[in-house]
Amino acid sequence: MTGLLPVLRCMILCEEIVSDPTRANRYTLVGVLHEVRPFLTSPYPYLHARLDMFVQLTSCHGPGQARVEIVRADNGRVEWHSPTGVFPFSNDPLAVRSIILRLHGLVFPDPGLYWARLWYNNALLAEQALFAR
């Protein structure tokens, strides 16, 4: 792994990502979202069973490690984090690489604004707002 960070092309949260079995590197993103909402009126803390994150990168310089954190915006507390995944990218900075991250068992202690943060090789690569309503 090098110290160079890839360039983020997109980072999308959704309910599910489906791979096309007939064509490589083709995906369907189901239920693109920017908020989670419990079915009951005020069931906090709220356990959200699963979200998927679709990430596309370019300018990759060899293998990398990625992880996701869900962070409360008001106090910076990490409420959930994924295990670190290893991605065996080659040193081809022109290639577009896709990562699918499955986020299971997310806990939101209170409604409010959270950040979904993508870490790559221990550097913050991107963050996206995620509201718990």
The whole-model pTM stands at 0.91
CB-based burial of residue 61 (10 Å sphere; 0-12 exposed, 13-18 middle, 19+ buried)? middle
Q: Is residue 95 part of a domain?
A: yes
Quote the number of domains for the chain: 1
Q: Could you give the CA distance from residue 77 to residue 19 in angstroms, rounded to a whole number?
A: 33
Separation of alpha carbons 53 and 70, rounded Å: 12
pLDDT band per the 50, 70, 90 thresholds, residue 109:
very high
Give yes or no for a contact between 71 and 111, defined as CB atoms under 8 angstroms apart.
no
Task: List pLDDT tens digits, range 15-67.
Answer: 999 999 999 889 999 999 999 999 876 689 999 999 999 999 999 999 999 99
H or E segment to which residue 46 belongs? strand 46-58
Residue 97, domain member (yes or no): yes
The pLDDT score that the predictor gives to residue 2 is 56
Which CATH number is 121's domain given?
2.60.40
Q: Specify the pLDDT at position 44.
A: 93
The pLDDT tens digits of the residues spanning 67-106 come to: 999 999 999 999 999 999 999 998 998 999 999 999 999 9
CA distance 14 to 74: 23
- Cβ partners under 8 Å of residue 24, min gap 6: none
Partners of 17 in the β-ladder:
29
Asked whether residue 1 is domain-assigned, the answer is no
Which domain, by its residues, includes 13?
A: 7-132
Write the CB contacts of 115 (distance below 8 Å, at least 6 apart in sequence): 69, 70, 71, 73, 127, 128, 129, 130
Q: Is residue 2 part of a domain?
A: no
* Structural domain contains residue 28: yes
Asked if residue 44 is part of any domain, the answer here is yes
